[in-house]
Amino acid sequence: MTQLKLPDIAAQTQKYTLPLDWVGMCGIAVPVQFEGRTTAAKIDAGVSLVDGSSRGIHMSRLYLALESLEDHPLTPLAIRQLLANFLSSHEGLSSAAYLRLSFEHLLKRPALISPLAGWKSYAVTVDARI
């Protein structure tokens, strides 16, 4: 049996060094607090990669930063702080940060005629970048 010898990609030098507008993860499941309730959200999170010669970003740092959404209500300030955390954890690598957060928000709505009420689901999407 012959052995196939594959090149070690990580040890090779790069021929092209191009910056990237966006590097990150999509569809991350995260609990978020919104209007006093915890709900399941899907998040896309990323940063730019300004140094094309670098090996990449630290995705685990993005993931760890997202844990703050579990402990604090979702507000514009919380989102700004999260994006700032993305950038500070990638200092020297990134100049922009991006977040897309999507979830269903349930509200109890009164019936039009009867004294009853029912639940209605509203799709919420937040796109933020710095």
Q: Average pLDDT, stretch 112-121?
A: 95
Residue 117 pLDDT grade (very low, low, confident, very high; cuts 50, 70, 90): very high
pLDDT given for residue 70 in this prediction: 92
Residue 28, pLDDT > 70, answer: yes
Quote the CA–CA distance of 89 and 97 in Å, as a whole number: 11
Q: Percent of the chain beyond pLDDT 70?
A: 92
Q: Which residue has the tokens 């703050």?
A: 68
Q: Domains in the chain, please, with CATH?
A: 27-129 (3.10.270.10)
pLDDT given for residue 52 in this prediction: 78
Quote the CA–CA distance of 88 and 13 in Å, as a whole number: 28
Q: Tell me the pLDDT tens digit for each residue of 48-67.
A: 999 877 878 889 999 999 99
Task: Give the residue with greater pLDDT, 4 vs 68.
Answer: 68
Q: Average pLDDT, stretch 67-84?
A: 95
pLDDT given for residue 78 in this prediction: 96
Global pTM value: 0.82
- What are phi and psi for residue 62, nearest 5 degrees? -65, -45
Quote the CA–CA distance of 97 and 84 in Å, as a whole number: 8
Residue 17 pLDDT grade (very low, low, confident, very high; cuts 50, 70, 90): confident
pLDDT given for residue 105 in this prediction: 96
